Amino acid sequence: MISRERLRKPGWKILGAIFLIAVIMAAVWGTRAAARKMAFFRVRSVEIRGARYLQPNEIVSRLQIDTLASLWDDLEPYRQRVRKHPQVSDVRITRRMPGTLVVTIQENLPVALIQTPAGLLPYDSLGRQLPIDPSRTNLDLPIVASTDPVLLKLVGAIRATEPRVFARIEEVRRTGREEILLTLSRGPEFVGTAGDSAAPNRRTLRVRVPVGLSVERLADIFPVETDLARRQVRVGELDFRYHDQVIARLQ
């Protein structure tokens, strides 16, 4: 016979807790196993969240859901199938009673268009060509001269950190081993001024940056433009190659 003193010892308490958890888990899994056999919990719909460039039917096709699939089936095989899509960087699948799977995806976002033998194709910041058809999807992206990883990484960082700058980038290319040229559309301060329609170069702004520039520094473009517009000065180029300075070259 086990004495009360022995039952009070920590070891018996731990064993009792483990036993209780085991009983609860057995009940849960027994209930889940029974629920899997019920037609009430059959998967009848799939909800796709987070898709921006991916077509929902591509995700549904990847899931390969059987007509007899239950909401209580293991979701990991579904997740792995979707995760293998080159456009997907991460995926989470949850259940919504009584018969809906909710698939939340995170896409590898395109950051640039690059000229290839097949035409302009989208690439992400890691230099991967993405399976997005530009003829079917409106891709308002800058054109990058090559698959240079330095250029693509820079454009990706600008998209993530300075979206206002990214929205204005038209072209990116190297002009030297340690120098990059960004061609931006003009800011609203300069739109509609005399002579814009006659000279295409007046509708763009060149921005020279060194390789390795902190993307946050590009936010300095906006106060510089505002100041120059206030003084009615037409600038053709901004140069960020000098430490803590922005050099404005006039047209």
**Per residue in 98-122, pLDDT tens?**
899 999 999 999 999 999 998 999 9
**Is residue 195's pLDDT more than 50?**
no
On whether residue 81 sits in a domain, the answer given is yes
Residue 138 pLDDT exceeds 90: no
The 10s digit of each residue's pLDDT in 199-242 is 555 689 999 999 999 999 999 999 999 998 898 888 899 999 98
- Sheet containing strand 112-116, edge to edge, reads 119-123, 112-116, 143-144, 169-176, 179-185, 204-210, 235-239, 247-250
Residues 174, 220: one domain?
yes
Provide the pLDDT for residue 9: 55
- Could you tell me which residues come within 8 angstroms of residue 173 by beta carbon, excluding any fewer than 6 positions away? 144, 145, 146, 151, 180, 181
State how far the Cα of 141 lies from the Cα of 171, in Å rounded to an integer.
Answer: 9
Residues 124 and 103 in one domain: no
Say yes or no to pLDDT of 198 above 60: no
Q: Is the model's pLDDT at 64 over the cut of 90?
A: yes
* Structural domain of 50: 41-107
**pLDDT band (50, 70, 90) for residue 32:** low
What's the CATH code of the domain at 175? 3.40.50
User: So what's the pLDDT on residue 19?
Assistant: 41
Distance CA 225, CA 219 (A): 11
Confidence of residue 28 (pLDDT cuts 50, 70, 90): very low
Does residue 77 share a domain with residue 197? no
pTM metric for this prediction: 0.73
- CB atoms inside a 10 Å sphere around CB 170: 14
